Amino acid sequence: MNDSPKQDLEKAAWVSPSAQLFGPVILGEGASVWPNVVARAEMAHIEIGRRTNIQDFVMMHVGFNLPTIVGDFCSITHHVTLHGCTIGDACLIGIGATVMDGAVIGSGSIVAGGAFIPEGKEYPPNSIILGAPAKVKNERDNSRANRFNAHLYHRNALAYARGDHRAWTGSEFEAWATELQQSIQTDADLD
């Protein structure tokens, strides 16, 4: 009997038609996958948390029997490579960063653009990580700012699903963003 996870995209807010998802890729509620993402899960699964966005040209792959797990409210920005690693909740992985097999990024962290996270390296929650090889430069809880960014992408994904490519403009957007900032400060956005 095969107990491995199956591909599950049903709860996603939007998956770009140009995204290429192979094997057991599981998308959490409200997650989004943007143009030209490639996710390959041959011997383990890839799991994306709720309201997490996987932005344009991200490459995700599993390690040898290592899944790739990304928590809730994360932003995996353009041209990132994730390979058999674990990303905690409310993280932002900067443009062009690489996170290798067995690495763990603690919740509420930021990985700077271009950083290289070596195999098996673990970083505590609330880290600001940069360099190649990457090191913790500072500590600060970035979870609220990172959740705000994830909510922005969720709103944009819902708009893209409707064919609207201008979700981040206008007075209605500004009012929404102000209300969202207030709900994040009290953690009301986690419901």
The pLDDT tens digits of the residues spanning 60-82 come to 999 998 999 999 999 999 999 99
Q: Which residue has the higher pLDDT, 127 or 3?
A: 127
Q: What is the pTM of this model?
A: 0.95
Q: 5 pLDDT band (50/70/90 cuts)?
A: confident
Residue-range domain boundaries for the chain: 1-191
Residue-by-residue DSSP string for 135-154: EEEEE---HHHHHHHHHHHH
pLDDT given for residue 3 in this prediction: 59
- Enter the CATH code of domain 1-191: 2.160.10.10
pLDDT over threshold 80, residue 191:
no
pLDDT in tens, 78-124: 999 999 999 999 999 999 999 999 999 999 999 999 999 999 999 99
Place of tokens 């098996």: 120
pLDDT over threshold 80, residue 150:
yes
pLDDT over threshold 60, residue 1:
no
Task: Evaluate the omega torsion of the peptide bond into residue 133 and state whether it is cis, within 30 degrees of 0.
Answer: yes
Query: What distance in Å separates the CA atoms of residue 45 and residue 26, rounded to the nearest whole number?
Result: 8
HEC letters along 50-69: CCCEECCCCEEECECCECEE
Helix/strand/coil for 100: coil
